[in-house]
């Protein structure tokens, strides 16, 4: 019998070191730097400056593009005319789901639960599908300038799939807080009782040493009626002092509660482990009090909460204890820049509406681009209790993004670097990305030497998964949701057509098997001058 976990670990070791580490010291010279001022808790803009990186940290930030007393052998990277920002911090993601891309474009949260979520998908994903989906998904995030990810790893439905996602996280070169998800998996008769030995094996191993990945925990049965293993999970959080604890927090008609007041009795919120509550759709006033009192954070995933219908009606009032996340990148944007932009304009609309609905004219803009930028960077680091992440300052981790402001048409004429990034730039403008001072993207390309092999392996895996899902009937949503007593109701459909029909269309996935192999360009000349 093939040892899948051993095979995946072997692949990870084979591909390890495939990133271009380069020199141990680097100077980013000549750019406009969006640094952080700890005294004012605001950005500090340094024009035509430089950043000296030594090993994995920022050694100095200089107003001189060519400072004196540089280390011997320093690599000088010319970033004149460019914008340099900290890497983005994603505080909620499920990386393994990449193979579902474009299949769930019109889905709801209820359909997601029964079709694409971990309980539904477990029977269809092999360990190698989890591995390559996680790896491809994290490369996609790095490409977009997301250098830190808190991964709610609910692919832990077997020992093999747990190791698959973990090994991929390590191999990616991203900074990953890999949160082992404890959940009873009836599909495989793989209960929390059986998952605990797997977790302990991982926690006691040396697998994290010398990597950018840290062990965290995810658990979704804190209350109001705690799961049978809640006390055991709480004990593991405390005993192992994991890097973070995360939980899905929805409440309201969703029934997946896990509010801060549900977690509080377990003695975790008063501890040193950061706790991140994802979504917080129906946070209470008591929830807000507890987050502020105990210094824990909400992860707002704007596009997810709009796409699926979680909503986030209370999140507008909790931004002093909030950071941003992506959630299920397989259904929409993978980047935190888009989340920050959507959230910025959503907040503006929300608070403007309050004024305009009372027949008044707003005299001020309720949220600034600086605040949105901070949510996407600094706040994420603070949510993880890592003040050395999401900032450019001396001693911080050298997780950086260089934006091609010099050549990008949308950035032509920029003056304010934060406004340029937050309102005008796109993922296509991300020129360089470093994690721990090492390039993971350079000159617009992922640096992993095996990236082309990863792409091919992923496309083969995705084809396998799509073949399964094409034969699956959609879930029937009737009665009440998950037995919580809240019945389904149809949302009003948008009508885009005059007369019959509404123009809703379909999910256009049929015929994808007739596309060129691996989505490579065909030899056929598709440009005809006579057309």
Contact call for residues 401 and 433 (beta carbons, < 8 A): yes
Listed residue (250, 296, 256) closest to 276, CA to CA: 296
Provide the pLDDT for residue 530: 28
Helix (H), strand (E) at residue 372: helix 369-376
- φ/ψ of residue 181, rounded to 5: -90, 120
Environment class of 435 (CB within 10 Å of its CB; exposed 0-12, middle 13-18, buried 19+) = buried
Contact call for residues 276 and 299 (beta carbons, < 8 A): yes
Cα within 13 Å of Cα(251), Cβ side: 21
Within 8 A by CB and 6+ apart from 295, the residues are: 321
Compute the distance between CA of residue 272 and CA of residue 176 in angstroms, rounded to an integer: 19
> 3-state DSSP call for residue 50?
strand
Neighbours of 101 (CB within 10 A): 20
DSSP 8-state code for residue 422: I
- C-alpha of 383 from chain center: 14
Long-range Cβ pairs for the range 442-447 (8 Å, 24+) = 442/20, 444/404, 446/139, 446/142, 446/143, 447/19, 447/20
Provide the pLDDT for residue 348: 98
Which runs of consecutive H residues, i.e. helices, occur in 77-153? 109-115, 118-121, 127-143
pTM of the model as a whole: 0.93
* The three-state (H, E, C) secondary structure of 232-252, written as one string: HHHHHHHHHCCCCEEEEECCH
Neighbours of 505 (CB within 10 A): 9
State the 10-residue block means of pLDDT for the chain, 531 residues long. 46 48 84 97 98 97 95 96 98 97 94 93 96 98 98 96 98 98 86 96 97 98 94 97 97 91 96 96 95 98 96 94 97 97 98 97 98 98 98 98 98 98 98 98 97 97 95 91 89 90 86 59 34 25
Provide the pLDDT for residue 519: 52
The DSSP-derived string for 186-208 is TTTTB-HHHHHHHHHHHHHSSTT
Q: Which residue spans within 40-102 are E strands per DSSP?
A: 42-54, 57-62, 75-78, 83-86, 88-93
Exposure string of 70-91, with b = 16+ CB inside 10 Å and e = fewer, is eeeebebbebeebbbbbbbbbb
Angle of the 4-15 helix axis to the 127-143 helix axis, nearest 10: 30
Compute the distance between CA of residue 398 and CA of residue 413 in angstroms, rounded to an integer: 28
Compute the distance between CA of residue 427 and CA of residue 339 in angstroms, rounded to an integer: 12
- C-alpha of 318 from chain center: 20
Provide the pLDDT for residue 498: 87
CA angle in degrees (0–180, nearest 5) for 238-243-249:
80
Provide the pLDDT for residue 507: 85
Tokens of 65: 């593009």
Compute the distance between CA of residue 90 and CA of residue 323 in angstroms, rounded to an integer: 8
Helix (H), strand (E) at residue 287: helix 285-294
Contact call for residues 138 and 165 (beta carbons, < 8 A): no
Listed residue (369, 368, 396) closest to 382, CA to CA: 396
Within 8 A by CB and 6+ apart from 21, the residues are: 438
Provide the pLDDT for residue 18: 47
Compute the distance between CA of residue 78 and CA of residue 59 in angstroms, rounded to an integer: 18
């Amino acid at each position: 019998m093939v040892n899948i976990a051993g095979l995946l670990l072997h692949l990870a070791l084979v591909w390890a070191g495939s990133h271009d580490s380069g020199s141990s010291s680097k100077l980013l010279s000549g750019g406009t730097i969006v640094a952080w001022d700890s005294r004012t808790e605001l950005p500090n803009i340094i024009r035509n400056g430089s950043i000296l990186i030594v090993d994995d940290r920022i050694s100095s930030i200089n107003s001189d593009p060519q400072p004196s007393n540089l280390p011997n052998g320093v690599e000088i990277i010319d970033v004149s005319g460019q914008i340099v920002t900290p890497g983005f911090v994603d505080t909620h993601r499920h990386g393994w789901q990449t193979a579902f891309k474009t299949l769930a474009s019109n889905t709801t949260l209820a359909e997601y639960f029964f079709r694409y979520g971990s309980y539904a998908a477990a029977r269809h994903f092999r360990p190698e599908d989890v591995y390559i989906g996680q790896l491809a998904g994290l490369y996609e995030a790095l490409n977009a300038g997301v250098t830190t990810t808190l991964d709610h790893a609910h692919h832990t439905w077997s020992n093999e799939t747990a190791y698959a996602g973990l090994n991929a996280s390590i191999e990616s070169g991203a900074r990953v807080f890999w949160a082992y998800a404890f959940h009873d998996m009836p599909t495989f008769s793989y209960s929390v009782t059986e998952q605990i030995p797997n977790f302990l094996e991982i926690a006691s191993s040396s697998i994290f040493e010398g990597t950018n990945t840290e062990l965290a925990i995810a658990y979704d049965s804190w209350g109001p009626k705690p799961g049978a293993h809640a006390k055991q999970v709480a004990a593991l959080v405390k005993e192992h002092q994991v890097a973070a604890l995360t939980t899905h927090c929805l409440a309201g008609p969703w029934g997946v509660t896990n509010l801060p007041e549900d977690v509080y009795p377990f003695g975790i919120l008063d501890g040193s482990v950061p706790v991140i509550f994802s979504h917080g759709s129906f946070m209470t006033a008591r929830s807000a009090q507890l987050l502020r009192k105990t210094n824990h954070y909400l992860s707002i995933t704007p596009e997810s909460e709009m796409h699926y219908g979680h909503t986030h009606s209370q999140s507008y009032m909790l931004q002093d204890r909030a950071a941003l996340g992506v959630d299920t990148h397989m259904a929409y944007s993978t980047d935190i820049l888009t989340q920050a932009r959507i959230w910025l304009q959503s907040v503006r609309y929300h608070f403007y509406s309050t004024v305009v609905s009372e027949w008044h004219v707003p005299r001020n803009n309720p949220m600034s681009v600086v605040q949105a930028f901070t949510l996407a960077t600094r706040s994420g680091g603070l949510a993880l209790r890592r003040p050395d992440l999401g900032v450019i300052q001396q001693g911080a981790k050298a997780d950086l993004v260089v934006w091609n402001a010099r050549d990008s048409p949308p950035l032509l004429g920029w003056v304010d670097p934060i406004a340029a990034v937050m309102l005008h730039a796109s993922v296509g403008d991300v020129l360089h990305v470093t994690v721990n001072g090492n390039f993971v993207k350079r000159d617009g390309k992922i640096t992993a030497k095996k990236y082309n092999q990863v792409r091919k392996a992923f496309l083969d895996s995705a084809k396998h998964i799509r073949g399964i899902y094409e034969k699956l009937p959609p879930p029937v949503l009737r009665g009440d949701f998950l037995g919580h007593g809240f019945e389904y109701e149809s949302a009003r459909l948008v009508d885009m057509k005059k007369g019959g029909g509404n123009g809703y269309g379909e999910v256009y996935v049929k015929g994808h098997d007739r596309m060129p192999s691996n989505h490579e360009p065909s030899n056929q000349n598709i440009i005809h001058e006579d057309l």
